[in-house]
């Protein structure tokens, strides 16, 4: 599914609608260059899951955990990791089947250990300043 958003507001609506399909064990990989909209989408998904805490970017601590929604949310940013080994050494792969939803920014860095059946969200900038293309598919 390829969705063009024309504004941050559009992306918020898309993320909230997308969140309705998520269930415990869902893994969502967010790919896209710096500033394309991975965190913006993540915040919208969190809101759609009913998370009431403020969402902050987990750049310095790999994962932030939010328990206030209808399922636990594990929000990762693996930008600073060297690869899957570092992710596993930190015990982060345990969250894949911990009964919550995993959102992983920069998941391409750990792609070798992403389980089949995970959801891929590839984000690109569009022609205007506030246009983004969200391409959503399954990893087989
Ligand atoms: N249609 C849109 N959807 C999402 N963000 C948009 C859109 N139009 C403009 N923006 C802007 O793009 C930026 C996206 O930033 P965001 O932090 O979500 O990106 P990111 O992919 O997480 O970046 P990083 O790789 O640094 O973590 C924000 O400043 C946001 O206001
Ligand atoms: Mg981000």
Q: Which own/partner pairs from 64-71 qualify as long-range (CB within 8 Å, at least 24 positions apart)?
A: 71/22, 71/23, 71/24, 71/99, 71/100, 71/101
Q: What is the sign, positive or negative, of the torsion defined by CA atoms of 10, 12, 13, 17?
A: positive
CATH number at residue 50: 3.40.50.300
Domain count, the chain: 1
Which atom of ligand 1 sits closest to the CA of residue 5? Answer: 1
Per-residue pLDDT of the chain in tens (140 residues, 90 and over written 9): 999 999 999 999 999 999 999 999 999 999 999 999 999 999 999 999 999 999 998 877 899 999 999 999 999 999 999 999 999 999 999 999 999 999 999 999 999 999 999 999 999 999 999 999 999 999 98
- CA neighbor of 127 nearest in space, from 5, 2, 1: 5
State if residue 105 touches ligand 1 by the CB under 6 angstroms criterion. Answer: yes
Structural domain of 53:
2-138
Which atom of ligand 1 sits closest to the CA of residue 34? Answer: 25
State pTM to two decimals: 0.97
State if residue 130 touches ligand 1 by the CB under 6 angstroms criterion. Answer: yes
């Amino acid at each position: 599914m390829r969705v063009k958003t024309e504004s941050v507001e559009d992306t918020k609506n898309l993320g909230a609608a997308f969140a309705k399909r998520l269930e415990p064990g869902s893994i969502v990989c967010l790919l896209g260059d710096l500033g394309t909209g991975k965190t913006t989408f993540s915040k919208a998904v969190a809101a759609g899951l009913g998370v009431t805490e403020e969402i902050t970017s987990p750049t310095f601590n790999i994962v932030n955990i939010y328990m206030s929604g209808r399922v636990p949310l594990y929000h990762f940013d693996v930008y600073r990791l060297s690869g899957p080994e570092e992710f596993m050494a930190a015990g982060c792969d345990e969250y894949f089947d911990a009964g919550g939803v995993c959102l992983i920014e920069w998941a391409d860095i750990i792609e070798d250990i992403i389980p089949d059946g995970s959801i891929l969200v590839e984000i690109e900038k569009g022609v205007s300043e506030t246009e983004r293309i969200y391409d959503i598919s399954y990893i087989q």
